[in-house]
Chains A and B, each alone.
Chain A
Amino acid sequence: EPEVTQTPSHQVTQMGQEVILRCVPISNHLYFYWYRQILGQKVEFLVSFYNNEISEKSEIFDDQFSVERPDGSNFTLKIRSTKLEDSAMYFCASSVERSGELFFGEGSRLTVL
């Protein structure tokens, strides 16, 4: 069964370092998303992406964050200068259509020291 894959599964970084989280959405999906979940808290929306541009972003998604679809398969989230409060599980998701069923990856756990 097709699935969303994310790498790395866990990354530890020093505060101030740049981090890139990678995702391979399901191949025929057109809508892509990043969410995050701080330990013990709700899953929070970060950004949605369609047709090579951001369609919606949250207040969390400030200038330190960026997304890119560099080729036909990968979808990346970059955090330019990590902060302690960026420590969280980051989930990538995709759907075949707008307002369609969302399929999530297993997540990338980011620990900022």
Chain B
Amino acid sequence: KQEVTQIPAALSVPEGENLVLNCSFTDSAIYNLQWFRQDPGKGLTSLLLIQSSQREQTSGRLNASLDKSSGRSTLYIAASQPGDSATYLCAVEYTDKLIFGTGTRLQVFP
């Protein structure tokens, strides 16, 4: 069964810390992996897309890595800010569908 797991489920840190969010998936036959941000009651905002042939992607303070063979991805957030507070979702694509993890709820306090 294709499953995606994210740890930790929740994280509360002071502003300025560097963070690592983890994602693991059971079936390594993926097309790509995408990280999203979800604010309460809102839609999903795409952060980074890593194709299966890639090892990492960077956008600003965000860096995502992919180790397809071990079924893992990490999202690194540098110098966290209160505006980064949200739920971060990892999603893996298999044949025209995304399988989502349960998310990591991040709170960054001033």
Contacts and interface: CB of A to CB of B under 8 A. Distances in A.
Contact of B34 (A50, A55, A101): A101
A106 interface: yes
Interface string A80-113: 0000000000010100001111111111000000
B46 A99 contact: no
A9 B96 CA distance: 26
A76 interface: no
Interface residues of A, number: 25
Contacts of B97: 33, 45, 48, 56, 58
A108 B36 CA distance: 18
Contacts of B63: none
B43 A55 contact: no
Interface residues of B, number: 23
Interface in A41-69: 41-45, 48, 50, 55-56, 58
B25 interface: no
Given A44-B100, A45-B98, A99 B31 contact: yes
B99 A45 contact: yes
B25 to A, nearest CB: 13
A42 B101 contact: yes
A48 B31 CA distance: 15
B98 A101 contact: no
B89 A43 contact: yes
B11 to A, nearest CB: 18
B98 A56 contact: no
B28 interface: no
B46 A103 contact: yes
A81 to B, nearest CB: 25
Contacts of B42: 106-107
Interface of A: 31, 33, 35, 41-45, 48, 50, 55-56, 58, 91, 93, 98-107
